[in-house]
Amino acid sequence: MSAKRWNVYLSGEIHSDWREQIRLGVEQAGLPVDLTGPITDHAASDECGVAILGPEETRAWTDHKGASVNAIRTRTLIEAADVVVVRFGDKYRQWNAAFDAGYASALGKPIVTLHDESIGHALKEVDAAALAVAERPEQVVQILDYAITGRL
């Protein structure tokens, strides 16, 4: 009945096109959804701190500066989100994705996780904090479609 736009933050994996699939799905369904997420350019994300604020001699401080600058974006957008989707791929440790899930959980945000069943056991604490556990991006679109319009 209302014209509310839904703000959905897409956290996690940056090595596959799942965000694009969700974007296309949301668009095709004509959903009133604004998608946000982290900067997904890996190199930029790693180097933003030193690129803007000056070089560091160690990887540790380079990382600290970069992660802090990225946090300006991620914290702001997660706090503004209605729903947080967290994607885990089958590679890398992706601790930032799990961190985002914990952060969103403590803020009381509805969480949807998105990952292969094969890594479900390792993700059990994260999944237990989620309202839906999806395996494919189109399921995320269907969840948003149902939550917003009631369509199945």
* Contacts (Cβ under 8 Å, ≥6 apart) of 12: 85, 86, 87, 88, 89, 94, 96, 97, 100, 114
We find the least distance from the C-beta atom of residue 15 to a copy of itself, in angstroms, to be 14
Pick out residues in 67-86 that bind a copy of itself (CB under 8 A): 67-77, 79-80, 82-83
* 96 forms part of the interface with a copy of itself (CB under 8 A): yes
Antiparallel, parallel or unpaired: β 132-134 and 83-87:
unpaired
CA atoms of 46 and 50, how far apart (whole Å): 9
Number of residues that bind a copy of itself (CB under 8 A): 88
CA atoms of 20 and 145, how far apart (whole Å): 16
Determine which residue in the list 21, 24, 29, 63 makes contact with a copy of itself, applying CB under 8 A: 63
Determine which residue in the list 21, 24, 89, 103 makes contact with a copy of itself, applying CB under 8 A: 103
We find the least distance from the C-beta atom of residue 29 to a copy of itself, in angstroms, to be 13
Pick out residues in 26-45 that bind a copy of itself (CB under 8 A): 34-37, 39-41, 44
Nearer to a copy of itself, 18 or 96 (CB): 96
Pick out residues in 111-130 that bind a copy of itself (CB under 8 A): 112, 117, 119-129
Q: What are phi and psi of 36, to 5 degrees?
A: -130, 175
We find the least distance from the C-beta atom of residue 18 to a copy of itself, in angstroms, to be 14
* 91 forms part of the interface with a copy of itself (CB under 8 A): no
Helical ranges in the chain per DSSP H: 18-28, 42-53, 59-80, 95-106, 124-128, 137-149
